[in-house]
Structure 1
């Protein structure tokens, strides 16, 4: 069995490619980093380090790599012969791979009628649907009908911290022991392949996507923004502060009410999930840079995103959102000179004030909720995190 995976980064090598190999696939990565491509092809393998107590190192064999820019013909040939196609390139880069993907799928259809699923594993809601829309922009209506008849774009939700470190053979992917890969079975077209080892198949993906976004990602971002205000360099060091842990846990508990009420989730299981997530965040074998976690604050403070949606939805129901409001306030204080969105955000606040910034970036117009956020913004700006 052959798998073609776009993106030889930390998630690609440490998570998706790893599980595909464990399932029995020969994995071919497609990337633009020629140094990385040459390294994989030279060894036909790569190393992954598990961030457990023993820092277990695993070697992943039977892998190869292609350059999508200078080896387009071979990438197309690989699409034709693949049994499954996956991605982890970042949602902003899906448009960049859509052209070669479209060419490859059309060539595949011309040569055989074997169905195939294309799964985009990005940190975004319905990334596979986004990739499909990018393909639709390129092909004709007739070609699209052909693709739709034989190609599925099942959406997925992924969750695994993946970092990297320099080794003698280049970057080594570092991954936490926990992982979750949830695939929407109802959107698949090829059921002749074995289930991917470690993946979960469901009929409705949304509860898993929103649980990750509004609890895991929200809690992670909240920790980063509080850490920034305290001058802590990593998520792990920040959570040693009892006040930070209290606010983060409380914000996650508040946000969990959105999941519980929307999807009728079990409250006890949700509590267990929150504690499990906090344990992941506090893993002492990980050094999780808060500037990396907190980057792109404008996106993370937007209307449908991790910090804002649970707060505004729960506020409308009259449920507690004090800690979520504090999380939003902390996000508006994230001031990293290395982050373009942070520079834009802080410049807007200096020119227009926090009240207009909340309206502009988060589209929050509820006066009472804005007052609550501004209250915590002023407290935190003056260093009073402990009183939140």
Structure 2
């Protein structure tokens, strides 16, 4: 592989192909995917794959070109690709980061051994404190290799990103049409933590770094406005009998509740970070319009799954509740939390799980737990009494 505008992308899934691969290919970069799926690796080695941008008005198909792939099982090939790359992205999910760390660390060590210059590893994971986790994994693996971890990592930036593009999991019919076909919404912005970079930022127009703004602003905006509003739409939609997000958010009653639940953290973030409130509100309104994209066919089941995780402290609901309690009105968040508890109860969550959430809510603001119990029909137990 020749040097110059080569990006290695760990994970050829929906985000890897649908977002990272497209942005870098469009900017003239060579894209090398690393994936464990033999069929996917084989088709990506052809050099291109179909990419659909879908909107309610129609679909635009293009082919992402200039790509190849190496199997994740071929550690030597992955190691070589990393050592020769100009940038690396991971898009594998938090659970799989320990699996990619050995080859990633080995490639970075090889690069350092020949004084290959600084390298940035971008995390397209939406993972809280992902940089800290990945630095720890790399340090451990470098020690195993006998490399001086501090020396290697001094030239490595671990850069968190905020993935805001909505990309549903490909359907069976899409996979039958082409194993690498991916469909995405038109939104293409990729905020990243520019302060963490060690190497020059890739010349990719959609990469957005603001050195004057704490990157926590972007991660909190994604989690507390986007993810929270999306999930609230799913829970309210499921209760109303909707199967997909677009018809759910088109229901006026649901739209009104979700808008209130998104505007509150938007106002809170504007106050916390000193940003223009009208821009945060406009961002929330843009998201509401994007949720209504009928061509995405995103399901309320997918968006709302795993309510137990989504009701953890600091997560989309309770994190937004704490933010709003400090900077705005937290009450618009309560309907989503109440319905999340119903979802959790329906999946076998008992009274202990409900009590834990109520305790968290009460610790955020005394009296809010009573309001949440009243909203749920007056029952603190694991099953709603509506």
TM-score of the alignment, normalized to the shorter chain, above 0.5: yes
Number of residue equivalences: 369
The equivalent residue for 1:72 is 75
> Does the aligned pair in 1 maintain the 2:311–2:357 contact within 8 Å?
no
Q: Deviations 1:122-141 (Å, cap 9, x if unpaired)?
A: 12234233222211222239
Instruction: Tell me the SS of whatever aligns to 2:376.
Output: helix
Query: Is the CA contact 2:268–2:323 (under 8 Å) kept in the aligned structure 1?
Result: yes
**2:154 alignment partner in structure 1:** 149
Contact 1:127 1:156 in 2 (8 A): no
Deviations 1:44-98 (A, max 9, x none): 11111001223001101111111112x1111111111111111111122111111
* Residue 198 (structure 1) aligned to one of 191, 203, 206: 206
Verify the 8 A CA contact 1:119 1:155 in the aligned structure 2: yes
User: How do 1:35-54 residues align onto structure 2 when only pairs under 5 Å count?
Assistant: 35-41=39-45, 43-52=46-55, 53-54=57-58
Query: CA–CA distance in 1 between the matches of 2:187 and 2:104?
Result: 31
Secondary structure, in 3 states, of the residue corresponding to 1:50?
A: strand
Unaligned runs of 5+ in 2: none
Aligned to 1:315: 325
Aligned residue number for residue 56 of structure 1: 60
* Aligned CA distance change for structure 1 residues 142 and 37 (closer, same or farther; 3 Å): closer
1:14 Cα deviation (Å)?
0.8
Deviations for 1:295-315, whole angstroms, at most 9, x for unmatched residues?
Answer: 221221111111112213433
In the alignment, is the contact (CA less than 8 A) between 1:223 and 1:248 conserved in 2? yes
Query: Aligned partners of 1:316 and 1:13: how far apart in 2?
Result: 39
Matched with 2:90 is 87
- Of the three residues 177, 185, 194, the one matched with 1:168 is 177
Root-mean-square deviation (CA, aligned residues, Å) is 2.2
Q: State how far apart, in whole Å, the 2-side matches of 1:316 and 1:182 are.
A: 26
Pair 1:347 & 2:362 matched: no
CA-CA distance at 1:258 after TM superposition: 2.0
Give me the whole-angstrom Cα distance separating, in 2, the residues matched to 1:231 and 1:211: 29
**Inter-partner Cα distance in structure 2 for 1:64 and 1:353:** 46
Q: TM-score, normalised by structure 1?
A: 0.89
- Long gaps (5+) in structure 1: 337-341, 384-388
TM superposition score normalised by structure 2: 0.89
Larger CA deviation: 268-277 vs 215-224 = 268-277
C-alpha deviations, 1:289-335, integer Å up to 9, x for none?
11111122122111111111221343356x42222011111111115
| 1:271 CA displacement | 1.8
1:359 counterpart residue number:
359
Shift of 1:25: 1.2
CA contact (8 A) 1:315 1:369 kept: no
Contact 2:119/2:155 (8 A) holds in 1 = yes
CA–CA distance in 2 between the matches of 1:363 and 1:76?
Answer: 50
Aligned to 1:300: 310
- Alignment partners' CA distance in 2, 1:271 and 1:168: 39
Please give the secondary structure, in 2, of the residue aligned with 1:30: strand
Please name the residue that 1:386 is paired with: none
